Chain A
């Protein structure tokens, strides 16, 4: 079995999904089910003080007994906010330590602030968290996160929520080649082929939210993403043929043609 192993735990899916931007909790649950994801990321926010006592809770829809809930620090711009958020998350999830760290640096692009991310990761790791870190596609930053003890590095393929696909496969390639922890493309995937390309590059997994939630039919797109990640992984393991521009090689026998042979070249 080609399991995806992160922080010593094996998962049957290499697709990790977010839970934001769905129409309602029913759609969230259906899309997550269709994606086959085992690791599902959630945000941590203040309770609505005026809320209805009977208001459904995301964790009732996606019970931690069924999924590995990966709390994230989406929206945090300082290491203090990120660390506090994840301490709360650990309490909320009864001691769960696997977390997704992101510290943003710019509200327009949601680009990560790597200096703050590195500092936050160091604090969290000291406190016993298993940190999966959202990072720019800078191979040096990715290596520093790994050296510090992050259990996975998660470079962007393009900006969060942009659906622009994989803009710099070469940087991802360098990160993958250097890494001894799982590399998960996080952010930027727009459609199934993007996910397949990420996996063909040798990424260990792909994390996405908007590509599924903002599709016209999110549940169908979740199913497409499941297949794309599986197909990309198999293609990576199978090892693609070499690219041979201008040296075409026929797949069928070149002799025995009814017209009596190959076309003569000048």
Chain B
């Protein structure tokens, strides 16, 4: 499990099997795409910021999350 702060809330995210190291230690965290899938947000009209930087959609599958990352996941809502 890794600890992430998502939209200001502390969340635990399981590390997927294929990213586990030989003794169960994660060699790298899950990707942004895996997080979005875990949250049932894949394919939704959202945008993601990680530690203050925008994560372009094209990099969802590449950017690997680490414990302590701060994420913002936003949508468009009604407003004036």
Most buried by B among A42, A47, A60: A47
With beta carbons under 8 angstroms apart, the residue of A21, A44, A49 that contacts B11 is A49
Q: Which of the residues B40, B44, B47, B80 comes within 8 Å of A88, measured between beta carbons?
A: B47
Number of A-B residue pairs with CB-CB distance less than 8 Å in the complex they form: 107
B2 close to A (CB within 8 Å): no
Contacts of B9 in A (CB 8 A): 49
Q: Are A92 and B78 in contact (CB under 8 A)?
A: no
* A17 surroundings in chain B (CB, below 8 A): 80
B26 to chain A, nearest CB (A): 23
Instruction: Check B46 for interface membership: any CB of A closer than 8 A.
Output: yes
The answer to whether the Cβ of A28 comes within 8 Å of any Cβ in the partner chain is yes
The closest CB in chain A to the CB of B7 belongs to: A46
A28 and B46 contact, CB distance less than 8 A: no
Complex CA distance for A256 and B77, rounded to whole angstroms:
66
Interface size class of B (residues with CB under 8 A): 20 to 34
* B-chain residues with CB within 8 Å of residue A207 when the two chains form the complex: 80
Tell me the complex Cα distance, A23–B63, Å: 39
Say yes or no for A205: interface residue by CB 8 A criterion: no
Residue of A nearest to B53 (CB): A87
B41 touches A47 (CB 8 A): yes
Q: A19-B79, A45-B77, A58-B77 are in contact. Are A92 and B45 (CB under 8 A)?
A: yes
Q: Indicate if the CB atoms of A88 and B78 lie closer than 8 Å.
A: no
Interface assignment of A155: CB less than 8 Å from any CB of chain B: no
Closest to B41 in A: A47
Cβ-defined contact, B56 with A47, below 8 A: no
Return the contact of B49 from the options A18, A41, A53, A88 (Cβ within 8 A).
A88
The answer to whether the Cβ of A182 comes within 8 Å of any Cβ in the partner chain is no
| B residues in contact (CB < 8 Å) with A | 6-9, 11, 39-41, 44-49, 52, 54-57, 72-80
- Offer 10 A-B interface pairs, CB within 8 angstroms, sorted by A: A17-B80, A45-B77, A49-B6, A53-B40, A60-B45, A69-B76, A84-B72, A91-B54, A92-B45, A92-B75
